[in-house]
Amino acid sequence: MKKIGFVGLGIMGKPMAKNLLKAGYEVTVYDIRPEPIAELVAAGAKAAKSPGDAAAGAEVVITMLPNSPHVKEAILGKGGVIEGVKPGTIVVDMSSIAPSASQEISARLEPKGVPMLDAPVSGGEPKAVDATLAIMVGGPEETFKEVKDILSVMGASVTHVGAIGSGNVTKLANQIIVALNIAAVSEALVLATKAGVSPERVFEAIKGGLAGSTVMNAKVPMILAGNFKPGFRIELHIKDLMNAMDTAHELGVPIPLSAQVLEMMQALKTDGKASNDHSGLVQFYEGLARIQVRR
Amino acid sequence: MKKIGFVGLGIMGKPMAKNLLKAGYEVTVYDIRPEPIAELVAAGAKAAKSPGDAAAGAEVVITMLPNSPHVKEAILGKGGVIEGVKPGTIVVDMSSIAPSASQEISARLEPKGVPMLDAPVSGGEPKAVDATLAIMVGGPEETFKEVKDILSVMGASVTHVGAIGSGNVTKLANQIIVALNIAAVSEALVLATKAGVSPERVFEAIKGGLAGSTVMNAKVPMILAGNFKPGFRIELHIKDLMNAMDTAHELGVPIPLSAQVLEMMQALKTDGKASNDHSGLVQFYEGLARIQVRR
């Protein structure tokens, strides 16, 4: 079994690294905070003093960090992964970042004989714990094959979607659709509620038809209950939509509806709601219409 | 079994009236065109000379027409249903119209002792033929109970959602969500395609997760095939979104994303694409980004 270096032990990274330990892998971990390192060491991991230290001796280095700048710093910065790797080490960044950042980092690793995959996940903390994440992977097919077993330890589905950056493009497509589907349900239910129709009856009447969606089934019960406990926080969806905007601008693809939902989420952030579940987007509409969608 | 008057034998009304005949109801039909009347008479219906004539002697009068003005004219105009009804006749308008129009018409019928339901459908021509429409009904509960058997002849699901107008509010909520879910898929897939990622692989990677929807499963294969044969025509979705806008303005509920999708559909209409399936919304984005989403 391959030796693994794991950098980033946050809400997602910690349970993912634990699942690798449970599967029997030798894992060397690093985080900027000492607490999660200690927790992982208690679970059988070795502690590293830097990302580069976690990479030294590892055959596969996994990074799981908040956004593009953190990944660039951890891989390319002082004491970074790039200082510990040797030719043949595989770097798998599982963070959700800008596709262009994945490509930049890969271009810096390639001359060192270090192939890279971008492998962002969807599913959130519960699926990280249960090892049922959906993992979308970009990068060379042969590199993908070498680490597929390792990724399968953390996810229920592991899909190779294309060249480096493609994993994050797929993740952005996913996040655009989820954001707009939440907005769709919000716009419709606030209108129906203000028209005096029970939003619950509307939900029951339409969920089996063409308007049905996983977002509708997962989020409308939360909206009807006024329960915006995350789940997936608005501030994280803002990050993803910012990366989608940057990518769209680089490519010359207008994404006007995503831009508008991003602004709605920004307005909620200003209103102190950044830590609510993204289904709390309905509160933007509720505020405008002076009504609440409730059971 | 109740005697039925049926007004409006278009793409939807014709198969719906035929299903009532097949179920053994006595049906008297009217349309502004003689051809569908002759076709229904051949199938066992009686011919009427006007909407009022179709209503005379009927216990239940069903109207199935394109939009609010047509329904107002057929029910309240010269030779209209209102001239043929007697106290106790039930009027069921199954057209998709503005909720306020349903309320206005009902208010005119009520003093005559004629209760009314608004009962728009979703599912399109195939489900009208198969009698598997989803029917959303607004109006008095006791009136709903009296005609539920008749509606069940035409639909797979018949849901009472509230007072008069509620059926059309629910239909508008449905159409808002469908329009925005199509836009969501379009915005995401055009971005992914321009980024060089196979839209088919993106679809496969994300359809099982939170981004999944009935729209995605039904429409993405059409988009990947470049097949925009309706289905549900863009010009009809424009009508529904116009009614949604009018309703939203009356109620004071901003629906900014619906407004934007309406404009996208209007742009496609200007471009000669009004008769395409509404999944052809992707062509708006394809035009902006100078790329096509294809398998």
The DSSP code for A32 is S
Using the Cβ of A258 and the Cβ atoms of chain B, whether some distance falls under 8 Å is answered with yes
The verdict on a CB contact (< 8 Å) between A170 and B201 is yes
Taking the C-alpha atoms of residue A278 and residue A179, their distance in angstroms, rounded to an integer, is: 8
Altogether, the residues listed in chain B come to a count of 295
Give the total residue count for chain A.
Answer: 295
Q: How far is CA B53 from CA A61, B30, B34, B41, in A?
A: 80, 8, 15, 15
- Could you say which residues from 161 to 200 on chain A have a Cβ atom under 8 Å away from some Cβ of chain B? 161-163, 165-166, 169-170, 172-174, 176-181, 183-185, 187-192, 194-198
pLDDT digits 0-9 by tens, B58-105: 999 999 999 999 999 999 999 999 999 999 999 999 999 999 999 999
What is the enclosing helix (H) or strand (E) of A174? helix A166-194
Which tokens belong to B125?
Answer: 């021509």
Supply φ then ψ for residue A30, to 5 degrees. -140, 145
Q: Verify whether the Cβ–Cβ distance B197 to A159 is below 8 Å.
A: no
Question: Both tokens of residue A182?
Answer: 């939440």
Q: Are strands A60-63 and A90-93 parallel, antiparallel or unpaired?
A: parallel
Distances, alpha carbon B160 to alpha carbons B94, B98, B104, B148, in Å: 13, 18, 20, 9
pLDDT at A124 (0 to 100): 87
The answer, yes or no, to whether the previous bond of A44 is cis (omega within 30 of 0) is no
| B233-259 per-position pLDDT tens digit | 999 999 999 999 999 999 999 999 999
List alpha helices for B56-130, DSSP H: 68-76, 81-84, 99-109, 124-130
Task: Record the tokens describing residue B19, joined without a space.
Answer: 């299903």
SS (H, E, C) B140-174: CHHHHHHHHHHHHHHEEEEEEEECCCHHHHHHHHH
Query: How far is it, in rounded angstroms, from Cα B162 to Cα B159?
Result: 9
Asked if A257 and B172 come within 8 Å (Cβ–Cβ), the reply is no
User: Contacts of residue B252 in chain A, CB cutoff 8 Å?
Assistant: 194, 289-290
Q: Which residue in the block uniquely carries the two structure tokens 């529904």?
A: B240
Burial B148-181 (b: 16+ CB within 10 A, else e): eebbebbbebbbbbbbbbbbbbbbbbbbbbbbbb
Chain B residues closer than 8 Å to A263 by CB: none
High-pLDDT (> 90) share of chain B, %: 98
Asked if A18 is an active-site residue, the reply is: no
**pLDDT number for residue A90:** 98
Nearest C-alpha in B relative to A241: B188
* 3 state DSSP class of B28: strand
- Please judge whether B214 and A211 are an interchain contact, meaning their C-beta atoms are less than 8 angstroms apart: yes
Contacts of A134 in chain B (CB under 8 A): 205-206, 208-209
A190 contact residues in B (CB cutoff 8 A): 253
Cβ-based neighbours of B277, under 8 Å, separated by 6 or more: B219, B222, B227, B228, B229, B230, B231, B232, B233, B234
Choose the closest CB to B255 out of A191, A198, A254.
Answer: A191
How is residue A277 annotated by DSSP?
B
B259 interfacial to chain A (CB closer than 8 Å): no
Amino acid at B196: G
Contact A210 B210 (CB under 8 A): no
Chain B interface includes A244 (CB < 8 A): yes
Are B213 and A214 inside 8 Å of each other by CB? yes
pLDDT digits (tens, 9 = 90+) for A204-222: 999 999 999 999 999 999 9
Nearest CB among B170, B187, B285 relative to A205 is that of: B170
Instruction: Spell out a b/e string for B3-36, using b for 16 or more CB atoms within 10 Å of the CB, else e.
Output: ebbbbbbbebbbbbbbbbbeeebbbbbbbbeeeb
CB contact under 8 A, B191 and A211: no
Nearest to A169 among B195, B258, B285 (CB): B195
Taking an 8 Å cut-off on Cβ atoms, the answer to whether A209 and B214 are in contact is yes
- Domains of chain A in start order, with CATH, are 3-163 (3.40.50.720), 169-289 (1.10.1040.10)
What integer pLDDT is reported at residue B295 of this predicted model?
87
Per the CB < 8 Å rule, is B211 touching A177?
Answer: yes
The active-site residue out of A171, A219, A239, A273 is A171
Q: Are A56 and A33 in contact (CB under 8 A)?
A: no
User: Which positions 55-114 of A are in contact with B (Cβ < 8 Å)?
Assistant: 99
pTM here?
0.96
Identity of the amino acid at B165: G
Q: What distance in Å separates residue A257's CA from the closest CA in chain B?
A: 7
Query: In angstroms, rounded to a whole number, what is the distance separating the alpha carbons of residues B85 and A170?
Result: 59
**A-chain residues within 8 Å CB-CB of B138?**
197
Q: Which residue on chain B is closest to A178 by alpha carbon?
A: B211
Chain A: residue whose CA lies nearest to B127: A209
Q: Which residues of chain A have pLDDT under 50?
A: none
Burial zone of B92 (CB within 10 Å; 0-12 exposed, 13-18 middle, 19+ buried): buried
Q: What is the pLDDT of residues B150-209, one digit of tens each?
A: 999 999 999 999 999 999 999 999 999 999 999 999 999 999 999 999 999 999 999 999
State residue A58's pLDDT score.
98
Which ipTM value was assigned to this complex?
0.96
Mean pLDDT of chain B: 97
Tell whether the model's pLDDT for residue B124 goes beyond 90.
no
CA distance B273 to B233: 9
Cα–Cα dist A154/B246, whole Å:
49
CA distance A242 to chain B (A): 14
Q: Report the alpha-carbon distance of residue A85 to residue A114 in Å, rounded.
A: 8
Contacts of B166 in chain A (CB under 8 A): 195-197, 201
CB distance A169–B192 less than 8 Å? yes
Q: Are residues A75 and A106 in contact, defined by beta-carbon separation less than 8 angstroms?
A: no
- Residue B180 has its nearest CB partner, among A180, A208, A288, at A180
Query: Measured between CB atoms, does B49 come within 8 Å of chain A?
Result: no
Q: Would strands A133-138 and A155-162 be described as parallel, antiparallel, or unpaired?
A: parallel
| 3 state SS of A191 | helix
Nearest CA-CA distance, residue A255 and chain B, Å: 6
**Helix and strand numbers, DSSP H then E, in chain B:** 14, 9
Task: Identify the three-state secondary structure at position A156.
Answer: strand
CA triplet A106, A112, A117: central angle to 5 degrees?
Answer: 30
Mutating which of A191, A237, A291 best tests the B interface, going by the most B Cβ atoms within 10 A?
A191
| 3-state DSSP assignment of residue A76 | helix
Subunit contact A196:B166, Cβ cutoff 8 A? yes
Catalytic choice (B14, B171, B239, B273): B171
> Given an 8 Å threshold on Cβ–Cβ distance, is B257 in contact with A253?
no
Here the tokens at position A210 are 């063409």
**Which residues does chain A have within 8 Å of residue B194's beta carbon, measured at their own beta carbons?**
251-253
Residue A119: φ, ψ to 5°: -140, 60
- Give mean pLDDT, residues B26-39: 98
Residue A199, token pair as written in the block: 């939003």
A215 touching B (Cβ < 8 Å): yes
